[in-house]
Amino acid sequence: MDIIAYFQSYINYFWEWTTDEDVPDDTGYNENNLISIPNVGAIAYRPYVIEVLKELKDLGFPPFGSLLLALYATQGGYLNLDGVFYYLNRQKNTLPEIDSDINSAIKFLENLSHIGASFKKGQNKIILLQTIFRDCHNKVSSVASELIVKIFEKRPYIIAEAANKKDLTSIAINRDIKTLALLHHKFPTTESIINAIRGTVDIPELEDEVIEEETTVETDKDFIQELIEEPKTFQVGSLIKRIWSGLKIPMRHLSPGEQPIGGISDMTNKGDFHRMLLSEFANEDEVFMNRVANNEALYIQREIPPEENIFERVILIDTSLKNWGTPKVLGFASAIAVIKHPKAHSECKVFALGQANIPISLDKVEQVIENLNQVSSALEVSHALEKFFEEEHREKDLEVFFITHQENLAHQKLQKVIHENRDRLKFLVTTSADGELNFYKHQKGTRKHIQKILLPLKELWANPPQRRQKGEDNSSKNWKKTDVPINYPILFPTPVNKIAIFLYEGEFFILSNKKQLLRTYLTDNYYNKNYYDHYKIHRGCEVLFEGISVKPRGQFALARNKQQQFILCQYQPDKKLISKLNLNTKEYSELNLTGMAIPKELKLVYFDKKFYLFFPKRDSIYEINLEGNISIGQIQNDPEIAKNYAKVETEIGKLKTSGIKILNNFSNIGINSEKNLVVSNNEFNKVYDNSLTLYRNRHRIEIFAHQNKNRFSFSDGSEIITDSRGMLTFKSSNKNIPEFFIPSTEYGFLALATHTEFGGSEYYLPESTLLKVKKMEDMYAEHLRRFIDQIWEYGA
């Protein structure tokens, strides 16, 4: 692969080459010096990416897109992963055959982002990248990798050719996505990535690092959340994160710093005498002086990646007549978005401009409420702005923002003040009543339009918090996750990802990746062997136990003891460890098998009230007791165990493909223009007679639900409670509509059930149930259709 093909960018892909004119490049080629994700944010500056590639060249480069996704997922501070996943999920429409690969890639990036902060810094981050990409798929050879680095060092401007976007091809998408998908299978959890790092190199300071395993990380209530909860600041607070997602203003200035790299690329013909190569002093005096005078002597010059430069920001908010109402809300939201941005570390002062310059603070909710009342009867603030610039500001690096209404720029006096101080006024932000923000930058005497952000005010302000009664503190009530039952009247969809599958006394059990023990079913037409073998009709599952303390590694077996309590046995050959866990009482016992020289081919199985380490062709095997503390002993092999093992493996094989893609990351719940319910950009629709399915929504959402953790509330009081295991609970404000449940699975026939009735796919119907079975058409009309109509009529 040549250098242009490796760095090639594509139309409508998740990344692109951009230029940050504020950051010069040591190579002398300052164009295309930043890699960013459109409407999401920057990934990294080119010098940093090149230094990372130099660290990876001996292993061979991973696909460039895969590396960029990994770099973004391991950034510190605020990450807009949903924005990245939008670009990846969009490829499903053109390449449906890679759906599962995209899902696996997304899970891998989520696991990567949840690694503790210490793994994402300095050399530890390099070790992390070397570990995950060591033997990755679609890798560039080490020889070609080194050649790419050498060509770039000689001709950095060659990037310009790669920056010209080409049409996106399936080969390019598959190259990036397949690599990450296979890495997910190799490192299925955050813990597995960390274990691999520790297996590569000893990092003692990371031993106490907290590992975040969940795909959704719930943090304490922060300042922005407090603004959203408070009715008086709700409008300001609800805009800030949306502004963050599109803000392109640099949050830190970069200046050169030094970092020793080494190698021939560090040599230069200019430098200090103490950095001159010793071989130069071996020349005769005349030759030596001639080489120095003609800049031919060689020096060691360290590469200088960017370093942070501290500066102070000043934000000036216009409070004149044109800025009352919505423009003022947008102005304060923009100011707080700049001040509180997760990557902003600079000092910041804020002034309200009216008849005079009033210093204000926006660090507390009470201060925001107080200063939102700052209004001035002045028509425009040219006098106050001019007065600010006439004052002496002794700060070393000062960056001034001026936030005003778009129409105010038409005033000649204000135009004059802005023009005269354009070298000191770095950014100009304009607002409008319809939610439009425009960001301008003054650079080299000219004003440059950076970006436009159009905020959907109606959507963002659709569900304001209720005003609290005097003396009532309902913050904990409003922001606590809603409890969900362990099971519902209907079955859960069976997850695709499983740790183990068991057959015990004719019943099928699954140990899921969420560390639950599930019981599932196959068709009840077992007597028809032909039908059963060919069609293997699956059913959903019910949850027996949750939060099982087990590591997803090794081999598992399941049984019940005399008290009918479930016993889970685990064998970890690499650790020479066997253990038992009573799922009912949580009692645990383990035994280290070091020194017993147990053959590698032995498998953990259950037979006739005992566990065994077994292999059919061995004369002796190992027996493990079911009752009491764990113990192990060697016995003669029994042919019946082999017969039973073969039957169990055949039956379990019928469950290998039983999983369904579960929709478990919920957002954007609402009702679209076709009056259909939308959940996470998927629409409930009756595509076929007597059926209900979830398909990709193609219509504009007219009514949005307000999210409170896993509870989504509509303006009429109706609610949808989500369960990440794959279930939605519907509670209508119309008490004549009973509570009902629908599974959340993509691209499959669904079911709808109340506590007494059921309709839809029998996949979700429990084996033993008192539910009255009805047609899906009737269930849809009586429950979901009425639920939607109730909300629609209230909104209208």
Q: DSSP states of 458-521 as a string? A: HHHTSSPPPPPPTT---HHHHTSPPP--S--SSPBPPPS-EEEEEEETTEEEEEETTS-EEEEE
Residue-level pLDDT at 23: 67
Residue 126: the pLDDT is 87
pLDDT value of position 396: 55
Residue 794: what pLDDT? 77
Alpha helix (H) residue ranges in 218-339: 223-229, 234-246, 285-293, 326-339
Architecture of domain 237-253+308-460: 3-Layer(aba) Sandwich (3.40)
Task: Give, as one character, the DSSP assignment of residue 782.
Answer: I
Q: How far is CA 99 from CA 92, 122, 152, in A?
A: 6, 34, 35
Question: In whole angstroms, what is the distance from residue 360 CA to residue 336 CA?
Answer: 12
In this predicted structure, what is the pLDDT of residue 68? 92
pLDDT, tens only, 51-78: 889 888 888 899 999 999 999 888 866 6
The parts of the chain modelled with pLDDT lower than 50 are: 200-221, 254-261, 303, 307-308, 468-478, 525-528, 531-535
Burial of 368 (0-12, 13-18, 19+ CB in 10 A): buried
- H, E, C per residue of 634-662: EEECCHHHHHHHHHHHHHHHCCCCCCCCE
The pLDDT tens digits of the residues spanning 352-367 come to 888 888 888 888 888 8
3-state secondary structure of 173: helix
Q: How many Cβ atoms are within 10 Å of 756's Cβ, its own excluded?
A: 10
For 331: left if phi > 0, alpha if psi spans -120 to 50, otherwise beta; the answer is alpha
Look over the chain and give the mean of its residue pLDDT values, rounded to a whole number.
Answer: 83
Spatial CB neighbours of 413, under 8 Å, sequence gap ≥ 6: 380, 382, 383
> Could you give the CA distance from residue 498 to residue 188 in angstroms, rounded to a whole number?
11
The whole-model pTM stands at: 0.44
Q: Which amino acid is at 379?
A: L
Long-range CB contacts for residues 263-268, cutoff 8 Å, separation at least 24: 265/153, 265/303, 266/300, 266/301, 266/302, 266/303, 267/298, 267/299, 267/300, 267/301, 268/298, 268/299, 268/300, 268/301
What is the spatial distance between Cα 227 and Cα 368, in angstroms, rounded to a whole number?
Answer: 9
Q: Which residue has the tokens 């408070």?
A: 230
